[in-house]
Amino acid sequence: MKHIEGDNRDQIVIFVETLDSIINENNAARFIDAYVEKLDLRTMKFKMRECEMGRPSYTAKLLLKIYIYGYFNKIRSGRKLETECKRNIELIWLTGRLAPDFKTITNFRKDNKAGIKGIFKEFLKICHKLGLLSFDLVGIDGTKIRAQNGNNNVYMRKNINEVIDRINKKIDMYLEELDQNDMSEKGEFEILTNNIEERLNKAKTRKEKAEAIKKMFEENPEMERYFANDPESVFMKDKGSISPGYNLQAAIDDKNKLIVAIDVTRESNDQRQIVNMSEKIEESKKAIGVETNTIKVADAGYYSEQQITNAIDTGHNIYLAHPGDAKLKKDSYNENPEKVPTADYQLSKFQYDKESDVYICPEEKLLKKYGGPKKDARGKETVYYKCRDCKNCLKRDECTNDKSGRKLQVYVRKQEIDQFDTKIRSEYGKKLVSRRKEICEHPFGTIKRNFGFTNFSMKGKENALSESSFIGFIYNLKRVINIIGIQKLTAMI
């Protein structure tokens, strides 16, 4: 039985095919090449590091093509990109057989944060020209992405001395083993000795690092923890695990599930992000010339009374899932700051009499205002209402644990919040909010599962934002290619 056989490696070929003919018309590399060639990188604030010893440098466009191709194909490491430039036929075609070293590749990404962030918005203009964006309804959501900082590189003030003691014990152990080996015959112990010396040097380096961090704790009394690899990262809780990272925020257009705005925050929850992301959406609309009145929807994790009123003041049309209608953990939203014993006596069960400016409890007792408005650390103003007739109430134990009687802490703009709650709990509001999951899950699923983007390659918040913007661009690029095809997209360029 015969099988398909390849070409004889020793066969002399008269007619050699060109490099260009190997890459077909529907290859994404062709669009990457055409797109980057049309970009004005100078106005996009790209810059190049000069090469040493007078050698000519690689062009910014060449290195940008390498990065776009790499992220498009889940290759983010500078070393891997260097290797692929030498063996990957698509990259060989894209670079014209040039293969920059990994240092040049990684320095380009590090030195061009502003330019790389600009690529995201620049591609949105093409999406708009192709009619792929509507900005009628935009979903907002967040996801946790690990930083370049493992838990073993997080140092705590409370146990920094214990860490140094453990390192000192290891150093003493290694020194003792070296002394024992010196007294033994060389040969069979030589390999072991070399290994101990290597571990000893690493332990000494760790000790120097730990002592430097201890000094930082002494000089900064307010600092409780230090992230050694990425000091700007913070602990993020995600699906039961806690690790250093950032909160990646994204806004996704409903029409074709394209990302229209991206941001990175160091806050572990989303409660203060709805106005921020709404403004990012408006910035994107302005950049591409869209004037639609956009509805922004988000889940209950974004519900914050202060953020809602800020959104109202700035004219953002938002719809949020109400925490009372969602299965959230108790610490995600506290509708009951006084920790009322039973749900029947929460603030929402009290009726407000606007004319008399009093609250009426379920037992029809009056709670009158006392004292002036008070501001918390974030500037939120609240007022207190107190019941003077709790002493003989039969339901007191179900209503409050306060010996002086039931108090209500009420946001000064609660009436606006009540109107907002009515709006989002309407049939129309619930329909909009129910669309959020459908809109937002697709991009995050693709980015994390298909692209493998579960950790940042760069350190620091600004670098994380730059990389997030780039992965947002790559997601949009792949999405647009799936929708309209390579040839039509290239023709648009």
290 with 347, same domain? Answer: no
Binning pLDDT at 50, 70 and 90, where does residue 334 land?
A: very low
Question: What is the rounded CA–CA span in Å between residue 262 and residue 264?
Answer: 7
Same domain, 362 and 304: no
Mean pLDDT of 427-444: 91
Q: What band does 343 get if pLDDT is binned at 50, 70 and 90? A: confident
Q: What is the pLDDT of residue 16?
A: 63
Residue with more model confidence, 52 or 459: 459
pLDDT band at 192 (very low <50, low <70, confident <90, very high): low
Tokens of 61: 């466009």
Residues 281 and 251 sit within 8 Å (Cβ to Cβ): yes
- Count CB neighbours of 65 within 10 A: 20
| pLDDT tens sequence across 253-301 | 999 999 999 999 999 899 999 999 999 999 999 999 998 999 999 999 9
> Does residue 481 form part of some domain?
no
Structure-model confidence comparison of residues 282 and 378, the more confident one:
282
Mean pLDDT of 342-354: 89
Tell me, yes or no, whether 310 and 430 share the same domain: yes
Domain edge (last residue) among 206, 227, 248 = 227
User: Does 89 share its domain with 30?
Assistant: yes
Assess whether 247 and 293 both reside in one domain. yes
What is the domain extent for residue 258? 133-146+235-322+425-460
Same-domain status, 39 and 107: yes
Query: What is the domain count for the chain?
Result: 4
Most confident of 47-51, 94-98, 206-210, 230-234: 94-98
Q: Report the alpha-carbon distance of residue 484 to residue 328 in Å, rounded.
A: 39
Asked whether residue 478 is assigned to any structural domain, the reply reads no
Name the token pair of 71: 């992220």
pLDDT, average across residues 321-332: 64
pTM exceeding the 0.85 threshold for the entire prediction: no
Whether 232 contacts 220, CB under 8 Å = no
Q: Are residues 93 and 138 in the same domain?
A: no
| Residue 117 is assigned to a structural domain of this protein | no
Q: How far is CA 395 from CA 31, 251, 385, 407, in A?
A: 71, 47, 18, 15
- What's the CATH code of the domain at 142? 3.30.420
Same domain, 432 and 397: no
Fill in the DSSP letter of residue 268: S
Distance CA 269, CA 373 (A): 27
Both 399 and 283 in one domain: the answer is no
Taking the C-alpha atoms of residue 6 and residue 342, their distance in angstroms, rounded to an integer, is 78
Last residue of a domain, one of 196, 227, 258: 227
The encoded tokens of residue 137 equal 């309804």
Q: What is the pLDDT of residue 464?
A: 92
251 and 316 part of one domain: yes
pLDDT for res 332? 43
- Whether residue 332 lies inside any domain: the answer is no
The answer to whether position 487 is within a domain reads no
Binning pLDDT at 50, 70 and 90, where does residue 338 land? low
Least confident of 129-138, 151-160, 229-238, 297-306: 151-160
Query: Do 53 and 23 have their domain in common?
Result: yes
Q: Within a domain: residue 255?
A: yes
At residue 457, what is the residue type?
S
User: Do the Cβ atoms of 27 and 486 come closer than 8 Å?
Assistant: yes
- Per the CB < 8 A criterion, the answer to whether 469 and 120 are in contact is yes
Strands (E) located in 26-110: none
Mean pLDDT across 122-132: 94
How many Å is the Cα radius of gyration of the chain? 30
430 assigned to some structural domain: yes
**Residue 4 belongs to a domain:** no
Answer yes or no: do 201 and 258 share one domain: no
Strand (E) positions, 97-181? 137-146, 154-156
Last residue of a domain, one of 393, 413, 433: 413
Mean residue pLDDT across the chain: 86
Of 362, 267, 259, 355, give the one whose Cα is nearest residue 307: 267
Residue 232 φ then ψ, to 5°: -85, -15
